A and B are shown apart, each in its own frame.
Chain A
């Protein structure tokens, strides 16, 4: 029969190991940076089309992560997507005429929001809205436009060649 003290020590170590494993899973494997949202301020932006943008997508300035998307809604009157950007409080001085664009990481990667700072001397604050927005590029639409243009071009050149031959 093992002493109760030995058993208790072993179970305690087991518990500590499991909790350490949970912490490693949380921070190293799932990249959970914080259980609570970081201090920051919210800025809204309206987009015609947000593509595959998801909640908690990254917001970047010059490629550096400065916040995350905290809310996506549809504006019921204008039918545009209203995206709320949660920007960390250590990034304070973003000019209020900056432009936001929805970009894609790599060819098939996730969407993220890039803020391009401009030159105004007044800065974004909690609740302000960014007006200069660029919608997400959607591959299907681009291909559609390209095909349409290609079709028109070949028609035009066909007409040109037929004209020349008739001359």
Chain B
């Protein structure tokens, strides 16, 4: 009985220690005097490998998501003779929810796992310690650019996701199912608000980008330096990121709909 209680206590202490380590990692990587001349090219490299290289999967999946939402929505709306409301349905669901959340999930799978594995392997092959030997701070050389890269890439990817999803819905709804193009766009414009719908979606994606890259970097940096340890770290990076995205999405939506 006492054993179980002490196990619970150990678990709690470990949990708090993990959060503390993650917070310290973030603090040491981000809070410092910025050095644009050295840091900018590194961040650019990360935006390329996390953002530009994720474009293919984002564009393809968003096109299909837009088309599927349009198809499902049309079938249901046509029963009420309201197929002209297809535009608002697709635009609102994509811009508010599907855009930020699905982009973040794909980003966690595509870029987050790569980040965790790369940093974990750097640690296992002692590249991080050799950097320290050369008086290069690995937190600023390796961790900080990755955090900034994810932070910058996510909103941009979300914007592109939104556009291609709406275009996919346009293809299916207007070109295939024959919804009137004028009704599609004008109803969409009448019911989508720039500040409350589009900007809130972008705020969400900024938060998700931050959380995903933080979790992935943390998991990689504190991975056990063995092959099994790196495998674990990669898995945990994706699983924790996905759970954090979905949980935070609920919290953020509740805050936005409740008017803060």
Q: Roughly how many angstroms separate A24 CA and B52 CA in the complex, as a whole number?
A: 20
Chain A residues positioned under 8 Å from B41 (CB to CB):
4
Q: A29 at interface (Cβ–Cβ under 8 A)?
A: yes
**Chain B min CB distance to A42 (Å):** 22
Q: A138 at interface (Cβ–Cβ under 8 A)?
A: no
Chain A residues positioned under 8 Å from B44 (CB to CB):
4, 7-8, 11
Q: Roughly how many angstroms separate A12 CA and B163 CA in the complex, as a whole number?
A: 19
User: Which residues of B (91-111) have their CB < 8 Å from a CB of A?
Assistant: 91, 95
Q: A10 at interface (Cβ–Cβ under 8 A)?
A: yes
A-B contact pairs, 10 of them (CB 8 A): A7-B45, A11-B51, A11-B52, A14-B156, A21-B160, A24-B163, A25-B162, A25-B194, A29-B189, A31-B190
User: Which residues of A (1-58) have their CB < 8 Å from a CB of B?
Assistant: 2, 4, 7-8, 10-11, 13-15, 17-18, 21-22, 24-26, 28-32
Overall SS of chain B's interface: helix
Q: A126 at interface (Cβ–Cβ under 8 A)?
A: no
Chain B residues positioned under 8 Å from A13 (CB to CB):
52
Chain A residues positioned under 8 Å from B159 (CB to CB):
18, 21-22, 25
Give me the interface of B with A, judged by CB distance under 8 Å: 41, 44-45, 47-48, 51-52, 55, 91, 95, 155-157, 159-160, 162-163, 166, 185-186, 188-190, 192-194, 197-198
Overall SS of chain A's interface: helix
